[in-house]
Amino acid sequence: MIDPIHSLAFSVQANRGVYAVLLGSGVSRSAKIPTGWEVTLDLVRKLAEISGEPCEPTPEEWYQSKYGREPDYSEILAAIAKRPAERQQLLRSYWEPTEQEREEGAKQPTSAHRAIASLAEQGFVKVIITTNFDRLMEIALADVGITPTVLSSPDLVHGALPLIHTRCCVFKVHGDYLDTRIKNTPEELSSYPPEFDALLDRIFDEFGLIICGWSSDWDESLRNAMLRAPSRRFATYWAVRGEPSESAKKLITQRGAEVIPIENADTFFQTVQQQVMSLEEFSRPHPLSTEAAVASLKRYLSESKFRIQLAELVNEEVTRIVAATSDGRFPVNGVSLDSANVTSRVKAYEAICSTLMALGPVGGYWAEAQHFSIWQRAIEQLAGLKEQAGTLAYIEMQRYPGMLLMYSLGFGAVEANNLHFLGRIFATSVFRENREDKAAVQILPPFCIFGRSGCNWNILEGKDKNYAPLNDWLHDLFRECLMHLIPNAGRYTLIFDKLEVLIALGFAYHDKRPADNYWVPLGAFGYRRDNCYRVIAEIEESIAKDGDQSAYVTSGIFGNSASSCKEALVPFQEFMKQVGARWWL
């Protein structure tokens, strides 16, 4: 089962600015910041001290006995310090560090505050709700250059810009420590001003939630706001130490929240921030932008004198991909094989390979003999396995970048009728540790990658009912980056199917199975029969017209003579009839 903190990191990275953070007193605990109730009780102790009366061990009972009511923060503060300036000075000692405390690191933003501020700086977090009175979150944000919109009273909420227009908003639902209107008692916490309720309703409806350090036991109005949220369009993740409280359990059930066991808030938010940054690195394009890389490739292909520069361009991109997929961020152990995980992993691979996927069609279209080895070397590197022990499906999925490159090169080669190059790509030898090396066309087609694991690509999100799920996925994936090369949608699909027919024929040629065990990896052409027949007819016509000089023969994709190529088409067509009778109808 995937670790819920990994799921959270994926969600935050993929949905920038969608998740709001709800922080309770537990987040400031390691900074030695007192809660509002702890400040109230300390004020009661001071009042008892100057009254010359003992109040321990239960100062709140002493206060109720002496004054006939529950201790109230605002009331006590007003009685002890008569002027606003006096009250501010008194309160500063609770939340602002002395020199000694500063040296000890007390009452300073914690690692959790710093991690949240880092996420806000990158735009992943825009809304921070907190029940804390301190200003540690604001200080941490200021340290990364963010001046947040701070909402701590109804008038501030009433005049605030819409959340969508703010870079970062800190919503202090219980107030700020320098404002005597902060909320402490159960009675005070039982209701919020209408302005607070309206803003909370919007946040809980429109944002996902990351909750940490909040038990929910005392904050009735905040609980109610969460319970009345009309929808849960984004997930809720609730980080807890030990068992959630009973009130928290009700909210977790109501919101369908994902519970994340944690040791402390600091470690939790640091881990989330680091994992989000790691995923962001995966998605980040090469410093040389995709457009610039394609422009450079075109220039290098135009003259033979640029062969070295072309090789360096391709090698740098491949090296980057290999490094990004080999440093432990694509684990093959401890990750459940389910739709969410497989889909997320496939998309992560595609994000890393996006620049190379744009280079491939151009490279395949214009490749000349002097370029062949450059692209073959790239296939060799990307089709290899980095990890050999773990979940077999994830091990085999390590070849996915190699598949993406083979397809992207293939599109350009087929469109340009550059079939000699395509034949060389298909024949590229891929190293297999402790096993016989095979041609790329034998191990990179979609129906081959999960061959040993028994898993199938119907596990991809939205492809559970597809006959050729990964083939259909690739068809949709490459459509956009091939618009400039093949603008017509119908022709694009024909070229896609033609490439897959040639992959199937190439597989049979290199695999050399006996006639009674003939098999080829299917493609979407298996159910787009008109395209399949059209491609076969084109091949037959070319061989009949040009004989051994046909591009299909000289390419060596599925034979080295006109007669051997014609022979290769017979079992393929028979196989397609059998497949149609059994699976595709």
Whether 459 has a pLDDT exceeding 80, the answer reads yes
Dihedral angle computed from the Cα positions of residues 432, 435, 437 and 443, in that order, rounded to the nearest 10 degrees: -70
| Cβ(125)–Cβ(13) below 8 Å | no
| 297 residue type, one letter | L
Mean of all residue pLDDT scores within the chain: 86
pLDDT value at 425 more than 60: yes
pLDDT at 493 over 80: yes
Other residues' Cβ atoms within 10 Å of the Cβ of residue 34: 19
Both tokens of 345, joined, read 């992993």
Which tokens is 330 given? Answer: 């694509």
For residue 578, what are the contacts with CB-CB under 8 A and spacing of at least 6? Answer: none
DSSP secondary structure code for residue 55 in this structure: -
Count Cβ atoms below 10 Å from residue 541 Cβ, excluding itself: 11
The per-residue DSSP string of 332-355 comes to: SSS---SHHHHHHHHHHHHHHTHH
Q: What is the mean pLDDT of residues 390-394?
A: 84
Residue 502: pLDDT band by 50, 70, 90 thresholds?
A: very high
Tokens for 101, please give them.
């405390």
Residue 217 CB neighbour total at 10 angstroms: 13
Residue closest to 198 by CA, chosen among 148, 160, 161, 157: 157
pLDDT at residue 127 greater than cutoff 70: yes
The predicted pLDDT at position 161 comes to 80
CA-CA distance, 446 to 60, in Å (whole number)?
70
pLDDT at position 543, please? 96
The pLDDT, as a whole number, for residue 501 is: 96
Q: What is the pLDDT of residue 316?
A: 92
- Residue 544: the pLDDT is 95
pLDDT, average across residues 76-105:
75
Q: Which residues contact 534 (CB under 8 A, 6 or more apart)?
A: 494
Decide: 475 and 496 in contact? Cβ < 8 Å.
Answer: yes
Given a cut of 60, is residue 1 above it in pLDDT? no
Q: DSSP secondary structure string, 402-466?
A: HHHHHHHHHHHHHHTT-HHHHHHHHH-EE--TTS--EEHHHH-SHHHHTTTT---GGGSTT-TT-
Q: Which residues contact 44 (CB under 8 A, 6 or more apart)?
A: 55, 59, 60, 62, 63, 71, 76
Model pLDDT, residue 339 = 81
Q: Could you tell me the pLDDT band of residue 7, with boundaries at 50, 70 and 90? A: confident
Find the mean pLDDT for residues 480-506.
93
Return the top range by mean pLDDT from 88-102, 336-350, 361-375, 454-468.
361-375
The pLDDT assigned to 453 comes to 62
Model confidence pLDDT, tens digit, residues 220-277: 889 988 888 876 678 899 999 888 888 889 999 888 899 999 988 988 998 898 888 8
Per mean pLDDT, which of 33-42, 72-81, 361-370 is the most reliable? 361-370
Three-state secondary structure readout of 177-240: CCCCCCCCCCCHHHCCCHHHHHHHHHHHHHCEEEEECCCCCCCHHHHHHHHCCCCCCCCEEEEE
Of the candidate ranges 27-41, 226-240, 352-366, 530-544, the one whose mean pLDDT is the lowest = 27-41
For each of the domains in the chain, give its residue range(s) and CATH number, in order of start: 4-31+109-272 (3.40.50.1220), 36-104 (no CATH), 286-507 (no CATH)
